[in-house]
Amino acid sequence: MILVLMIGVLLVGGLSCWLVAQRYPLMGRWIALIAVIIAFLLPVGWYIQHAPGITAVGKNWLIDYQVNWIPAFGISFHLAMDGLSFILILLTFLLGALSVLCSWNEIREKTGFYFFNLLWTLAGIAGVFVAMDLFLFYFFWEVMLVPMYFLIAIWGDFNRRYAAYKFFIFTQTGGLLMLLAILALYFIHGQQSGGQYTFDYFALLNTTFSNDVTARWIMLGFLIAFVIKLPMVPLHNWLPDAHSEAPTAGSLILAGLLLKTGAYGIIRFVLPLFPEASASIAWWAMLLGVVGIVYGALLAFAQTDLKRLIAYTSVSHMGFVLLGVFAFREIALQGVVMQLLTHGVSTGALFVLAGMLKERLHTRDINHMGGLWTAMPHMGALAMVFVMASLGLPFLGNFIAEFLILLGAFDVSPVLAIIASAGLVLSALYSLRIMQKVFQGQLQPISEQPRDLSVREWIIMACLTAAIIFLGLYPQPVFDVVKGALITSYQLPVAGGFN
Amino acid sequence: MNSLLPYIPALPLFGFVILSLFGRRLSKPVTAWLGAGTVCIAALITITVALAFLQTTPPGGAYSQLLWSWFTVGNLSVDISLRVDALTLVFIFIITFVGALIHIYSAFFMWHDRDMARFFASMNLFVCSMLLLVMADNLVLMYLGWEGVGLCSYLLIGFWYEVPSNSRAANKAFLITRIGDTALLIGLFLLFKELGTLNMNAILQEAPRHFTTGGSNIVLITVLLLVGGMGKSAQIPLQTWLPDAMAGPSPVSALIHAATMVTAGVYLIARMHGLFQLSPVTMAIVAIVGAITLLVAGCSALAQTDIKRILAYSTISQIGYMFLALGVGAWSAAVFHFFTHAFFKALLFLAAGVVIEALHHEHNIFMMGGLRKRMPEVFITFLAGAAALSALPLVSAGFFSKDAILWYSWSSAGGSALLWFMALVGAFITALYSTRLMLVVFWGDMKTPVHQQPDRGMVIPLVILAFFSITAGFIEWPHNMIHLSLFSDHVQQVLPGTVMKENLPPEWLFQAIAAVVTLLGVYLGITLYYGKSGVRWQQSPPLAATREFFFSGWKFDQLYNFIFVKPFLFLTRINKSDVIDRMYNGIAQASLRLNGWFSVSQNGSLRLYIVGVLAGILFIITLQLLL
């Protein structure tokens, strides 16, 4: 029930933002903030009550809620949460609350409709993480896309129309393939089980495929949808445009959350539903992951638009996810989950910083910046923290993630892991370039001295900094919570094969 | 004693946290007390621990303390756990003791800087990371310290970030060491794959059972670790960052780029000695890298004019000696040279800092001169440091440590006449450039007026360091002179003894040759530089070309620029707008064009539509009839 409430609060909150802001434009942001905080507190409160049970082995599904929706087609409203969903939901609402905060003053037009879209996107993302009925999953998948399209197309930057179209067409193409794959799975399972047509995830897990080719094609349908979202090179081209044109909160949600739905989909659906098929393409997927790491880093280094630069670093970091998932090792998969969290936090923080810079300097071009440490030492220090996080400095969470992924991948394919490790050098190149161009050097002569962080901005950055340091120094709680879920997702492909 | 261990790194960490959170609101005295005080207390605790250790060796040969379990995933379990054995003890003593002196000095040196709090925050974080590096009981925690010191080095080289060349130097240092770090990380992956653990003790115990001597895996692992060490310790070919790193404030050069961080590679190899012993090939590579580095860097030091760059090249060269010693299996000699070098090189950098400040930030030694009379305390302490650097026989600490390395580079099982000869030439060069430095800076005419005398608080650390630069060697005498080997007895609780060749020439012969060569170097320096205002002999074309070659650090920068930097920049620049995007734009263009073609048919002309419909019907009927 708590899951329904959580999503319901966001949907209702979004609607009321829209309605209330018609008359009181400034009320919208307060309603939005309260709604997200309530949604955040619901799972946290539940966790505090059930903390001891959550890490217990053998009981993966912590909450399970199911009611009939369209029984004629075997569609039910089925929400369930295991450790993996739980962690990702926490990330969703943490970044969600911060995205409301960083839109506080940035958005001046149509605020009601803006927060409506923001909350509905968050609701869609949360839904994706807990939906256990494939029809419902697809529904939420669309719910998160459409409002995000509006966020980019209405409140975006100069080239927003182009970016929004591109984002929509890319993800919708993937969505279409996934819909076909879901339907194919639905019919195959229905025929096998003698007319028991159902979209239920747990029922579909028992599907067996008579031949490998079918399994391969259906698996690819899912996989392509997810790797477009992830994104994987060469399907990444929507990302730099969407990230750089979106408003700050949009970039934060795109980088911090939307990309994670792709990785989540692979772990939740592709691996358990198609164990053999996904094992058979594992090497290629790892290769493309490595290509993404290197290619994204090279492109990031070349950019002069700050947000575009950060966007390409996401391509590079998400390459690690692909590499880790298809390594089929527990160590690597734990690293992947950690990467999802830490990338969400650290890249989100970088986008927030880029947004703050743009608010002050009215430019995203790093060639027009320089010496800003002198004017804004606090922002400089915080930028240093997240730049270091993004290049994988120990003390901070990203190191743990990349270390584990590489360690796991090395066991499978040393060559790929070594090339991926070169990504660590490249990440230093582009990360240090941010500091050098933006904060070091002589302060450019500007008419108006930019002011350092406000209290609201401090709150945002303090939350993110605390999170990234905590994940770096004491990541064990995360590993414990997701362990059960991850082991189940691997059980089939490598029965007894991993340790 | 175990429970005291965490406080040693925790105190500087505390200083870092307070200074970085509230640094701008604290007054200068509070900042200075907090920054220097935490390290001083850490040094006192270290001395307490050291005394207890020396009185009664703890069970297992080490104090250890588990703080918390960092992460446990699959079969990998990593703890935040500290361990202090005889080898670590030497390192933490140097880090905290020399570190404390440098911090006291810095409190005066940085007093007028706007960002004093940021300086001390970074310095404290450095001390904490460096302590974690040497106290870690597993390689992952060590790697944390390893990267942490790299970060602080980066922050402090670029401390005066407003000058673009400083931040470039900082980036260069970070990137080049990162290349080494990545090799080290891959080495850890391979070790874990082979042994299933990253705990240092477990590795050292398992390795002889698991690996065969000289097997390809162990060679690969040790080479990867070595590359990591070469990056941090600025050994050829990864040495180019260190001379540029002199852009940082002088205390930074003293602490990070002379006494502690740059010797991390020495620590790593000494700590993992059990692996290196299984791979004679790597040992030989270590020795050769060290020998080449000490010569190349020594020659470069001869030609520099910037006082700090002379010292930087000298540091690279001295670490080359340590690598040489490690490579020939003279473990304790390497660590002993680290021990004495930390004192005299920190001293030289701090004294250079005083000189530079006194002369309005003048770095060029040929613009100095005549300081012997004007700055007597600095002169005397600098003299002690330079004597130790050039290893003047018996009166300097440097003699005892360097003499041991020279001896073992011939006499140990891994040694050879060639290595010994290279080390000997290096000793000659060292004496020559030390003499040149002394004479040009302190003798001759004064070319820049002294505008301020150093504070008392800066002189006291110099005097203490000068004392140790002379006396630190007395705890370990050559075997044929006095039977006193406190240092090697201590570290050989951890490190193996040196395996010697048989039928060796007498040791005194080597000592005599080394002493004569050193004195010859000093003599040549005096004949070339004493009392000569002009340096006419340098003007002949071949010498000038050689000098230019040495001055530029053997053109390594230009070479790397040509091989790596330019192609990389070119590659990234041409693909800035992402070639893959063209493909999608192509698809979009093609759709538009098709749209153009087909929309011709949608022209609103009813007659054409009817023709189209009829043609379609005709086509279908024809098909029906034919099939």
Residues B569-626 pLDDT 10s: 999 888 888 888 889 989 999 999 999 888 887 888 888 889 989 999 999 999 998 8
Query: Residue B494: inside a domain, yes or no?
Result: yes
Using a CB–CB cutoff of 8 Å, tell me whether B75 touches chain A: yes
pLDDT value, residue B449:
84
Residues of A in contact with B140 (CB under 8 A): 403
Q: Which residue of B has its CA nearest to A415?
A: B186
For B182, the closest of A388, A421, A475 (CB atoms) is: A421
What is the average pLDDT score of chain B?
A: 90
Residue B534 lies in a domain: yes
Percentages of chain B per state (helix, strand, coil), in multiples of 5: 75, 5, 20
Window 570-609 of B, Cβ < 8 Å to A? 571-573, 575-576, 578, 580-581, 583-584
Question: A 330-349 residues with CB below 8 A of B?
Answer: 330-331, 334-335
A421 CA to chain B: closest CA distance, Å? Answer: 7
Does B103 reside within a domain?
no
pLDDT at B534: 53
Per the CB < 8 Å rule, is B148 touching A394? yes
The whole-number average pLDDT for the span A343-367 is 91
Q: A447: pLDDT confidence band, cut at 50, 70 and 90?
A: low
**Averaged confidence pLDDT in chain A:** 89
Q: What is the mean pLDDT of residues A162-176?
A: 92
Q: Is A473 at the interface with chain B, CB within 8 A?
A: yes
Name the token pair of A467.
């999170």
- DSSP state letter for B2: G
Give the nearest partner residue to B167 out of A374, A411, A436, using CB atoms: A436
What per-residue confidence (pLDDT) applies to A59? 64
Secondary structure string (H, E, C) spanning chain A: CHHHHHHHHHHHHHHHHHHHHHHCCCHHHHHHHHHHHHHHHHHHHHHHHHHHHHCCCCCCCCEEEEEEEEHHHCEEEEEEECHHHHHHHHHHHHHHHHHHHHCCCCCCCCHHHHHHHHHHHHHHHHHHHHECEHHHHHHHHHHHHHHHHHHHHHHCCCCHHHHHHHHHHHHHHHHHHHHHHHHHHHHHHHHHCCCCCCCEHHHHCCCCCCCHHHHHHHHHHHHHHHHHHCCCCCCCCHHHHHHHHCCHHHHHHHHHHHHHHHHHHHHHHHHHHCHHHHHHCHHHHHHHHHHHHHHHHHHHHHCCEHHHHHHHHHHHHHHHHHHHHCCCCHHHHHHHHHHHHHHHHHHHHHHHHHHHHHHHHCCCEHHHCCCHHHHCHHHHHHHHHHHHHHCCCCCCHHHHHHHHHHHHHHHHCHHHHHHHHHHHHHHHHHHHHHHHHHHCCCCCCCCCCCCCCCHHHHHHHHHHHHHHHHHHHCCHHHHHHHHHHHHHHHHCCCCCCCC
Has residue B573 been placed in a domain?
Answer: no
A58 pLDDT above the threshold of 60: no
Q: Which of B70, B147, B189 sits opposite A406 (nearest CB)?
A: B189
Q: Both B334 and B412 in a single domain?
A: yes
Looking at the structure, tell me whether residues B485 and B599 fall in a common domain.
no
pLDDT score, position B421: 93
Half-sphere exposure of B451 toward its Cβ, with a 13 Å CA cutoff?
7
- Does A447 contact B at CB distance below 8 Å? no
A439 contacts B161? CB cut-off 8 A: yes
Residue B522 has pLDDT above 60, yes or no: yes
Residue B153 lies in a domain: no
Q: Which residues of B touch A413 (CB under 8 A)?
A: none
Mean pLDDT across B197-206: 91
> Is the domain of B269 the same as that of B320?
yes
Nearest to A394 among B147, B155, B584 (CB): B147
Question: Does residue A494 carry a pLDDT above 50?
Answer: no
Nearest Cβ partner of B178 from A236, A428, A498? A428
The predicted model gives A102-120 an average pLDDT of: 88
pLDDT bucket at A253, cuts 50 / 70 / 90: very high
Q: Which of the four pLDDT bands, split at 50, 70 and 90, describes residue B551? A: confident
A11 — pLDDT class (breaks 50, 70, 90): very high
Same domain, B514 and B593: no
Residues of A in contact with B155 (CB under 8 A): 384
B461 and B601, same domain (yes or no): no
Decide if pLDDT at A498 tops 60: no
- The answer on pLDDT for B451 being more than 90 is no
Range name among A176-190, A298-312, B52-66, B290-304 with the lowest pLDDT average: B52-66
Report pLDDT digits (tens) over A79-107: 998 889 999 999 999 999 999 999 888 88
User: Residue A54 pLDDT more than 80?
Assistant: no
Per-residue pLDDT at B535 exceeds 80? no
CA distance B166 to chain A (A): 9
Instruction: Assess whether pLDDT exceeds 50 at residue A499.
Output: no
pLDDT > 60? residue B63: yes
In this structure, the answer to whether residues B169 and B300 fall within a common structural domain is: yes
A21 — pLDDT class (breaks 50, 70, 90): confident
Pick A475's closest partner by Cβ from B71, B148, B155.
B71
The pLDDT-based confidence of A264 (bands split at 50, 70, 90) is: very high
If one counts the domains in chain B, the total is 2
Please check the confidence at residue A496 and state whether its pLDDT lies above 50. Answer: no
Average pLDDT estimate for B379-385? 93
Is pLDDT above 90 for B92?
yes
Give the pLDDT mean for B326-334. 92
Q: How many angstroms separate the CA atoms of A406 and A412, rounded? A: 10
Residue B417 within a domain: yes
Residues B554 and B618 in one domain: no
Average pLDDT of the residues in A33-51 = 88
Least confident interval from A476-485, A489-498, B96-105, B561-570 = A489-498
Q: Are residues B585 and B482 in the same domain?
A: no
Q: Name the pLDDT band for A25 (thresholds 50, 70, 90).
A: confident
For residues A370-386, give the mean pLDDT.
90
Query: Within the 371-390 window of chain A, which residues sit less than 8 Å (CB to CB) from chain B?
Result: 371, 373-374, 377, 381, 384, 388
Q: What pLDDT does residue A218 have?
A: 92
Q: Is B363 contained in some domain? A: yes
List CB contacts of B142: < 8 A, sequence separation 6 or more: B132, B133, B136, B200, B268
Does residue A56 carry a pLDDT above 70? no
Domain that holds residue B616: 581-626
Cβ contact (<8 Å) for B174 and A432?
A: yes
Q: Flag whether residue A424 sits within 8 Å of chain B, measured between CB atoms.
A: yes
Rounded mean pLDDT, A137-156? 92
Question: Average of pLDDT values for B37-51?
Answer: 94
Q: Does the pLDDT of residue A497 top 60, yes or no? A: no
B143 in any annotated domain = no
Contact B185 A393 (CB under 8 A): no
- At residue A493 the predicted structure's pLDDT band, cuts being 50, 70 and 90, is very low
Domain end (from B560, B590, B607): B560
Q: Are residues B203 and B234 in the same domain?
A: yes
Residue A408 has pLDDT above 60, yes or no: yes
Tell me the shortest Cα–Cα distance from A238 to chain B, in angstroms.
Answer: 9
pLDDT of residue A275: 87
Same domain, B499 and B602: no
Is B576's CB within 8 Å of A395's CB?
no
Instruction: Express as a percent the part of chain A with pLDDT over 70.
Output: 96
pLDDT in tens, B220-231: 999 999 999 999
Neighboring chain A residues of B80 at a CB cutoff of 8 Å: 473
Interface of B with A in 492-521 (CB under 8 A): none
Q: Does A494 touch chain B (CB under 8 A)?
A: no
| B70 neighbourhood in chain A, CB within 8 Å | 473-476
Q: Are residues B252 and B343 in the same domain?
A: yes
List of long-range contacts for A297-302, beta carbons under 8 Å, 24+ apart: A297/A423, A297/A426, A297/A427, A297/A429, A297/A430, A298/A426, A298/B571, A298/B572, A298/B575, A299/A240, A299/B572, A299/B575, A299/B576, A299/B578, A300/A430, A301/A426, A301/A429, A301/A430, A301/A433, A301/B572, A302/B572, A302/B573, A302/B575, A302/B576
The strand pairing partners of B136, in sequence order, are: B82
Smallest Cα–Cα separation from B239: which of B332, B148, B325, B301?
Answer: B301
Question: Same domain, yes or no, for B326 and B275?
Answer: yes
Mean pLDDT in residue range B514-538: 80
Could you tell me what percent of chain B has a pLDDT over 70? Answer: 99
Q: How many residue contacts between A and B have a Cβ separation below 8 Å?
A: 131
Q: Which among A166, A331, A498 has CB closest to B76? A: A331
